[in-house]
Amino acid sequence: MVRHIPVDAAIVTEPTELDVCIAHKGFVWLEVETLGQAAHGSRFFEGIDANMRMGRFLAGLDRLEQELRARRPHPLVGPPSLHASLLRGGTELSTYAASCRLGVERRTVPGETEASVQAEIEALIEQTASTDPTFRATARCLLARTAFEVSPDAAIVRAVRDVATRHLGRTPAFIGKPFWMDSAILADAGVETVVIGPVGAGAHTSEEWVDLQSLERLATILADAAAEYCG
């Protein structure tokens, strides 16, 4: 939709406790597959265990995860991170696993790209293969969404913050969020975007909620910010 409908600016209303969010993380979903050789469990001289090979890759992935969290953090969203989300390998107990698949989620910070994340994983595969001639693996991206960051001096940011200051009796803080939002899609399409939302908690749980009084205040802020921005 944002590619076909021209928009000058946008306000995304994910919960921010009525502070002004100007950055958030993105993510890359990857699938890594290690390849083995199926054989009967008694024939160790024929079988190559793809699950064991994945274990060697996972050891390197764990080191990469620690290195990511030790990097200089983004001032608003913190350091990048990753985790091993899904693991599937083998067919039965008495057969060497011919394949093992690992789902990885990599959380990105502003400035990182899908290509840079893919390169890290490919480098890890090459490092693992250099110490084990039987190690074979592939990696592919399943889905990627970019991180988001907007200048605090952008016109829509100034309009929202000025109006919110008047309604709240305080200057909202500039904040970042560790999760992804639609603001990144808008920003990637060239739309000047900011995030402000009500007080709330429990995202993706059985008790997800927002505070109704803050929701009413937000509605007033949105209306006045739109009027101020549009002049």
Q: For residue 3, what pLDDT is reported?
A: 83
**Taking the alpha carbons of 35, 40, 41, 47 in that order, is the dihedral positive or negative?**
negative
Residue 56 CA: distances (Å) to CA of 29, 104, 169: 20, 15, 56
163-215 tens-digit pLDDT: 999 999 999 999 999 999 999 999 999 999 999 999 999 988 999 999 999 99
Strand partners, 184: none
DSSP secondary structure letters along the chain: -TTTS--SEEEE----TT-EEEEE-EEEEEEEEEE-B--BTT-TTT-B-HHHHHHHHHHHHHHHHHHHHTSPPBTTTB--EEEEEEEEE-S-TTB--SEEEEEEEEEE-TT--HHHHHHHHHHHHHHHHHT-TT--EEEEEEEEE--EE--TTSHHHHHHHHHHHHHHSSPPPEEEESS--THHHHHHTT-EEEE---SEE-TTSTT-EE-HHHHHHHHHHHHHHHHHHH-
Give CA–CA dist 82/120, Å, rounded.
Answer: 12
Give CA–CA dist 175/90, Å, rounded.
Answer: 45
Q: Regarding beta strands 9-12 and 209-210, do their DSSP bridges make them parallel or antiparallel, or are they unpaired?
A: unpaired
55-65 tens-digit pLDDT: 999 999 999 99
Answer whether 199's CB lies under 8 Å from 15's CB.
yes
26-83 tens-digit pLDDT: 999 999 999 999 999 999 999 999 999 999 999 999 999 999 999 999 999 999 999 9
Q: For residue 204, what pLDDT is reported?
A: 85
| Share above pLDDT 90 across residues of the chain, in percent, rounded to a whole number | 96
- Closest C-alpha to 182, from 195, 168, 172: 195
Q: For residue 49, what pLDDT is reported?
A: 97
Token pair 């008694």 is at which residue?
42
- Give the pTM: 0.91
